[in-house]
Amino acid sequence: LLQGKLFDSTVTDEGTWTLEDRQLIRIVLMKTNRDAGNCWTSLLENEYAADPWVQDQMQRKLTLERFQREAKLFFFYLHQNPGFDFSGAEISGNYSKGGPDFSSLEK
């Protein structure tokens, strides 16, 4: 059905496939690198590229997941800088590299 090299590596033990209504094969792969900046642009190298809107949605989702993981660090930073008011903030922009980098903030 599909022939080629996957865009990146996956976790072998986490892959599943199902046959639905004897017509549709659904394949689920778990990426080894789920960082927000590592959103696959296609399923296989140079084949089956994601629609640009779908790509943007995937990058948003991965970026929001990253923000959830880094929330403790972010709230520590806000505590150290009490003048910041994010009550009306929204997350928007370009997600192609996983959003802003908070790695330089103190833990």
Alpha-carbon distance of 34 to 18, in angstroms, equals 23
Closest residue by Cα to residue 65 from 55, 57, 53, 77: 57
pLDDT, residue 82, reads: 63
Q: How far is CA 72 from the centre of its chain?
A: 19
User: What token pair was written down for 20?
Assistant: 């639905």
* Sequential DSSP letters for 29-56: --BS---TT---SEEETTEEEPPHHHHH
| Tokens 């991965």, residue located | 62
What mean pLDDT do residues 37-51 have?
84
Selected residue with higher pLDDT from 1 and 30? 30
* pLDDT tens-digit series, residues 72-105: 666 766 666 666 555 565 556 655 666 666 566 5
Selected residue with higher pLDDT from 31 and 86? 31
